[in-house]
Structures are given as C-alpha cells and as structure tokens.
Chain A
C-alpha cells in the first residue's frame, strides 16, 4: 500500500478556540470546526509525515481505536478537506511551495 501525505494549504485561516480547531478556506470561505482527533491530524499535516504514521503515533496512542479504522476515517477526513482546498493530499511528500501554489489558485 502506498503512503499518503497531507499538508495544510497556505490559503487557510486556522485558530484554536478552546477545545475546538476552527479552519476557514480562503478559496470558498467554507468554515470548519474540527473535532479533537481531526485537529490532531490538522496540526500534524506537515507534508512530510505519512498519514499512517500520524494515525499510529498520534491518534491510536491517545484514543481507543484500531489502526485500520482510524486510518480509514483519517483518509475520509483528508479527502473532505481537500475538496475545499484546505488540505493537500499526495502519494509523495509535499513541498511547502505546493501549498503556496494552492493558495494562488493552482490546486495541487
């Protein structure tokens, strides 16, 4: 199975508000409120760490969930945010310049 990498687009605004992570896309102005688990994925979306690794080390270690289910949910979450240009998904590590390109309107 190939690795999946996720990176935050630079076209987003994000802030932690109490126990919530709030994210807004500058592309379509969609506002998201991320759950605790989703916020972990968001904060770890550096484009270099494989999603599977994030799920294993940051999600499964903190929440009672099996790795297969957690990874499936994480991939679904990533695809949903990617559809709004908020998150980038790739089978290869993602360079920071790709996130910048997404901000300029060139969807990665």
Chain B
C-alpha cells in the first residue's frame, strides 16, 4: 500500500476531510463554452472570511487544498489568500487559465510554496482554443503564463476537456504540454451547470466517436489493458465507498456553501452560518452520502462494471438520484469494454444523452474491446480516493 493510500484510509477511519476544493470566485476573464458556472458575483467571501475558513479547515485536518474558480487570480487579494493558506501549511494546488501570470506572479507563487498549477488548455491552435474560451489571444497568453511558471520552477499540469469543438486537437495539446515541460491529462467529461441547466451537455463528444478516442495509445497508454473486459466483482468492490466526495473530500463555494464535491452540488451547509467541522460531521446531507456503499446502489450494484466504472454520484444526483447511475459513465464503460452496463440493459439502451448506444452495440462483435472511458494520463495524488 502506498503512503497516499494509507493516508486516505486513515482519513476515512478518522473522519477527516483530507482534501478540500475551494472556489475563490466564480468571476472569470474567459467564457468557456462548457463552463458549469454563472459568473456574476453574488457575494463572495472576503479575505477575512477565507482566512477563518482556512483556519477551520486546518483544524479539521485538511491537508490538500485546491484553490480554483472561476479564475482565482482575478481576485485582487489572491496572493494574500494563497499566502494565508500556505502559512497554515496546506499543500496548495491552484487551478487557473494562467492568462494573468507573468514572471513576477510566477516567482511569487513559487516563493509561497505552491505545489502545482493546473492550467486549462483546449487546443494548440489559437483559433480553436480562443473559440472555446471566447477570449481573443487567450492561448498565447496562457502559453506565456505556463512558460513563466515553469521558468520559476513550478510544476504545471495541463488539463484538457475534450469536446466536439476540440476533439481533433488532443495530440496537439499533449505535444504542447510536453514542449512546455508540463504533465498532461485529458477528460471527455462535460458536466451540467450548477444551476441544473443541461444544455452544455450537447458539447460532449458523441458516444459513437469515443472508441477512436480511447483506442489512442497516446491517451490511454496500453489500449488492450485499458479496454479489457471488467474483472469479476467481489466483496471488496461491493463494500467500497462509491467516491471520495463527502467521505474524505468536499467543496466550498465562494459564497461559503459546502457541497460533497464541485460536481455534486448538494447543499450541505454554509460556513458563514456554521463552523466547517459541524457541517462536515453533522450535515444530514453529508451523512446520507457517507452512508452509501456500492452494494446499496439499486442498478449499479448488479453491473459488471461495478469495480472499474468511473461512476460519479454527483452526476447521478443531477440526473435525479445520488444512488442511481451516472449515464455518461455507463456509456464510457460500455464503449471502453464493449460490455453493456446494467443501466443500459435496464433501460433498453434508449435513454443515453448521446443517443447512440444501440448503434454502438451493433458495431462491436461479442468480446470485442471498444476503447472508451475517462482518461487521466497523469492522475494527481490528491484526486485518488
């Protein structure tokens, strides 16, 4: 067992939120077509409120702190907030578009001891990237920002959300990341807006195109292994927690709202009215999330993919039931392995967002290995749980 696995197990045993994601703002200098946020400021917490929150998170045992947004660097007090987090000895990761990063900002982040900067890049071609962000010149500025971060000695992870509009450019972004000295991850997941609007899901890559994507060796490493049929499900899988959300991690919005995860917008409390530790320990919503084991999932517990699926309880919740399947992940499991999920079989393959499951099933002979699924080339230690 790795030390990270040991820490996660210990955090679960002690009821400690090892990882917390805090959005400092929903405001942003870009308007990405797939973004799940509304960007108006509806009363963000100020520096003193974030400072108090961080003290409470440190007292609760939080070790990994992700600061994101919106674009977090748009806040005038961004560096004060990072400095406060580092003074409390969190392992800090910042998610940014790096448009506002120049040499001075990069040096300051390095001096503060930030662990890693995760930067969103959607294409190596300005006309594609800038069309996604709707900010002219954004790719050039983002690349300059990454170069400054690397020159200052910071670790940079390039993150790419693969959609209809940029699906051709995956290899180009990977090559750009290599040239910049950054790690690279790509993910075809587009999530509904936090408001519940599901219109952005139309940007997802159609399921019928996923096999080609996930047979790409540059993305998945070994396609034969990646696309292997799921191994038999045992008691370990049935008794496992469905996700780290609400168990060893959670999310706090710029307004102090606490959710199990940024992708699981189940209101569980607000740190402006309650202490974080009280929300974490006693929120009925988090207690319900924590009570669920995979054996309790009415459809998924009988699925062949139970042990290997990337099922997201947050996406399931946005579909109406936190114990239900997250359809996009059912689809990925199917396309990755050629084995239909229990949800697909139960629904007669009729209700998938991409609407192409029947066609896809017909396209694969029994036993064939279709290569689809969530892709994480360079998984980060604090996202593993």
Contacts and interface: CB of A to CB of B under 8 A. Distances in A.
Contacts of A18: 10, 14, 16
Interface stretch (A24-32, A48-56, A58-66, A74-82): A24-32
B43 to A, nearest CB: 30
B350 interface: no
Interface string B34-76: 0000000000000000000000001001111000000000000
Contact of B10 (A9, A10, A20): A20
Interface string A1-39: 000000001111111111010101010010111000000
B12 to A, nearest CB: 11
Given A26-B113, A104-B111, A17 B89 contact: no
Interface in B1-37: 3-4, 6-7, 10-11, 14, 16, 18
A103 interface: yes
A32 B115 CA distance: 15
Given A22-B7, A33-B6, A13 B110 contact: no
Interface in A88-108: 100, 103-105
Interface residues of A, number: 22
Contacts of B153: 104-105
A34 to B, nearest CB: 11
Contact of B90 (A11, A13, A17, A20): A13
Contact of A17 (B10, B112, B113): B10
Given A22-B7, A33-B6, A15 B110 contact: no
Contacts of B112: 103
A11 B89 CA distance: 9
Contacts of B115: 13, 24, 26, 29
A13 B88 CA distance: 8
Given A26-B113, A100-B111, A103-B112, A13 B92 contact: yes
B91 A24 contact: yes
Place the interface of chain B in its size category. 20 to 34
Given A15-B63, A31-B3, A104 B110 contact: yes
A103 B110 contact: yes
B95 to A, nearest CB: 16
Contacts of B10: 17-18, 20
Given A17-B63, A104-B107, A12 B7 contact: no
A17 B16 contact: yes
B219 interface: no
Interface in B83-116: 86, 89-92, 107, 110-115
A2 B25 CA distance: 52
A105 B110 contact: yes
A36 B106 CA distance: 36
Given A24-B91, A31-B3, A15 B62 contact: yes
A108 B359 CA distance: 63
6 contacts: A9-B113, A17-B7, A29-B115, A31-B3, A33-B6, A103-B110
Interface of A: 9-18, 20, 22, 24, 26, 29, 31-33, 100, 103-105
Given A13-B92, A14-B89, A31-B3, 10 more contacts: A10-B113, A12-B113, A13-B91, A16-B61, A22-B7, A29-B155, A33-B7, A103-B110, A105-B110, A105-B153
User: What 5 A-B pairs have minimum CB-CB distances, sorted nearest first?
Assistant: A13-B91, A11-B113, A104-B111, A15-B63, A103-B113
